[in-house]
Amino acid sequence: MSELHDKTISQLLLDLDNKAFSSVELTGHYLDRIERLDPAINSYITVLREPALARAAAMDVARQKGIHPPLAGIPIAHKDIICTQGVRTSAGSRMLDNFIAPYNATLVEQLNDAGVVTLGKTNMDEFAMGSSNENSYYGPVRNPWRADRVPGGSSGGSAASLAAGLCAATTGTDTGGSIRQPAAFCGITGLKPTYGRVSRWGVIAYASSLDQAGPMARTAEDAAHLLQAMAGFDHRDSTSINQPVPDYLAQINGSIKGLKIGICTEYFDEGLDDDIRTAVMAAAKTLESMGAILSEVSLPNTQHAIPAYYVIAPAECSSNLARYDGVRFGYRCADPESIEDLYKRSRSEGFGREVKSRIMVGTFALSAGYYEAYYRKAQQIRRLISADFSQVFDQVDYILGPTTPSTAFKLGEKVDDQVAMYLQDIYTIAVNLAGLPAISIPAGQSQGLPIGLQLIGRHLDEGGLLKVAHNFQQASDWHAQRPNDGQ
């Protein structure tokens, strides 16, 4: 059954309905591939072989009875920042290496209700802080397309496991591009929903006003399957949006004729790789040939997005990570001499370099005498960035551009250059600051490495983004390309 891992969710569901194979067989196929292939990729932190097979057997019984949930028997994996009851949830950190989540995140509950089988928890940058998946306590993840390249971050394990055919779909979180950037680097589809569209309850917080969970899948249609289950209001999350969830799968096959798509001039600056520029413009022409209307648009405050983000996000992480003190849960240093020693050593030993760096920056930005100069100013810039998007969306329906300035870079290449690493998110961060939805889809290759196309939409227009992406994928086959032929 070597071809199973190349199938989309839609194809797998049809085959399961037609009894071409059982969910136990499908789950076993993925688990065997994980055992055989993942040691070289390191995309999983925890693998749940026995629970996954038991769940698959239960979904097979449900199918035999003729009444089953919509995603019954589909094997997926969760980013290890998302709480899963009774299973280690580490956030990629030594700090939570021994933390067993006592409850399921809302999105895990929703996907369980939809019938998925959880294969395990995927590797990630510690507490979602990073753009390369080199900041994990469990070691770096390798890109399945080329072993010496990064998969992107922070949801690098989720992207790599899917690209390598080690699951049918995954979940990720996106604070400044952490779903879209690894999706671009690994040649998959990644959707960052509108802030508040998917509940954050049970998702370990990095920056609470920016974090957003979303689906990572082979195609836009597969992403629609997952989002249908994940989206919705949650009374336990005060930032959750209380709006009806549309039928994403029903919307996806609509025409894009007459849709206005703006090509953002700021996203085609001198820092963009020429091959990516060519591929993205070719993708735009493909959409134009399908009836979309192209025009140039400008987001002038985009240049301020990275400095604003790297004040706001560390400030929020400084507050959110204050709870990890060696007292209540998580890592605790050995033989502390005093309560002060307990705090200091538990945090200094439990957190990695990047996390400690961001905590220090955030604490400084929030300190007396600097709050007005840094944090308040960054929030004012955030408002300007949001206003830019509002003005552009008065002219066009969607904004198009590259997801990343380059293809996947080499492991270790940017570890000692923080600014170069932060610039990897230059085209994605503004979307999080404005709370908008955006999707990255495969749109080409450069020297055998995937290229990502980013589409940005209005608030709550995930359905429209999925429709445009699906139309493009009907006219191209970049999403069907596999590293090493999927073997």
Q: Residue 349: inside a domain, yes or no?
A: no
Q: Residue 26: inside a domain, yes or no?
A: yes
Residues of the chain with pLDDT under 70: 1-2, 485-487
Report the CATH number at residue 449: 3.90.1300.10
Q: Residue 422: inside a domain, yes or no?
A: yes
The DSSP secondary-structure symbol of 194 reads P
Q: Residue 38: inside a domain, yes or no?
A: yes
Q: What is residue 486's predicted lDDT score, i.e. its pLDDT?
A: 44
Q: Residue 30: inside a domain, yes or no?
A: yes
Q: Residue 53: inside a domain, yes or no?
A: yes
Distance CA 25, CA 480 (A): 23
Q: What is residue 368's predicted lDDT score, i.e. its pLDDT?
A: 85
Distance CA 48, CA 111 (A): 16
Active site residue 260: no
Active site residue 79: yes
Q: Which of 154, 161, 240, 406 is catalytic?
A: 154
Q: Which of 155, 178, 199, 440 is catalytic?
A: 178
The count of domains in the chain is: 1
**Domain enclosing residue 202, as ranges:** 4-262+394-486
Q: What is residue 3's predicted lDDT score, i.e. its pLDDT?
A: 85
Active site residue 285: no
Q: Residue 8: inside a domain, yes or no?
A: yes
Distance CA 217, CA 474 (A): 16
Q: Residue 478: inside a domain, yes or no?
A: yes
Distance CA 191, CA 228 (A): 12
Q: Which of 79, 192, 414, 467 is catalytic?
A: 79
Q: Which two tokens stand for residue 275?
A: 């091959």
User: At a CB cut-off of 8 Å and minimum separation 6, what does 378 contact?
Assistant: 307, 308, 309, 311, 312, 315, 365
